[in-house]
Structure 1
């Protein structure tokens, strides 16, 4: 009985170890290693904010800022996602075309809400915008409202 219990313990431990193994391909890199376009985006829209961490994986860069924001970039340095973690996104980002159209739609249609995340969503062929009430809106690439994402 002790042998069986020991064998089962070893098997359980082996499965636990393999299921918890670190398969994360993210690699920490320096801020200076980001493409110039990414650095310019951060410095323009988050002036004076400290970059806490930069991670690189196979197809993107994830930048974590000291104010709680996260910005994801593709390998060319173009932003893919800006997540304010429930904080309102900077007006300078929302002033970019066609995000200015998106922002105007949100202000008109949902005047008591604000944008906390924008994702360039290639699968939905447009922008996915999350409001502070967790409502997700889908917009065409040109900024035209398409639908609510339920």
Structure 2
């Protein structure tokens, strides 16, 4: 009886493997296939930028999108099209992406040092500066940490 139960469990696990293997994959997409919020963000902040690659990433059960422009800008969006990361290492960060209180605090602490990356998570927003410093803020704009 014990062997039968173990054997059934192993068979069930093996039969589920193809479903999980199929669930994790990336595929190229056009900007038109992305959620409306992502399309609007791209049109507003990068209207002239040429797309080098846009892809949808499936990591069961989550879906995300990534866009890389020929100017070296990389964008990441969640499944609903809300941006999660904007990386502008080779070109200036467009105005309006970094929330004003965070931009002001960054300029106060490090005058003249541009923000090259912003990453938004559920409980924090992280700014990476051109001088290598990383500033972590709460969603309401309080400075939580500075790291180099």
- Fold shared by both chains (TM-score > 0.5): yes
Aligned residues: 121
The equivalent of 1:74 in structure 2 is 78
124, 129, 132: which one pairs with 1:131? 129
SS at match of 2:84: strand
Measured on the aligned residues, the alpha-carbon RMSD in Å equals 1.5
State how 1:53-72 maps to structure 2 within 5 Å.
Answer: 53-58=53-58, 59-72=63-76
Partner residue, 1:144: 142
Query: For 1:103 and 1:50, how far apart are their aligned partners in 2?
Result: 27
SS at match of 2:55: strand
Hey, what's the Cα distance between the residues in 2 that align with 1:105 and 1:129? 11
Equivalent residues in 2 for 1:93-112, closer than 5 Å: 93-94=97-98, 99-112=99-112
- How far does residue 25 in structure 1 lie from its aligned partner after superposition? 2.2
Checking the alignment, whether the CA contact within 8 Å between 1:126 and 1:139 is kept in structure 2 is yes
8 Å contact from structure 1 (residues 86, 132) kept in 2: no
- 1:6 paired residue number: none
TM-score (norm 2): 0.76
CA shift, 1:86, in A, is 4.5
Gaps of 5+ in 2: 1-23
Q: Which runs of 4+ in 1 moved over 4 A?
A: none
CA separation of 1:147/1:86 partners in 2, compared to 1, >3 Å: closer, same or farther? Answer: farther
Counterpart Cα distance in 2 of 1:86 and 1:53: 17
Length-normalised TM-score, structure 1: 0.75
In structure 1, list runs of 5 or more residues that go unmatched.
Answer: 1-23
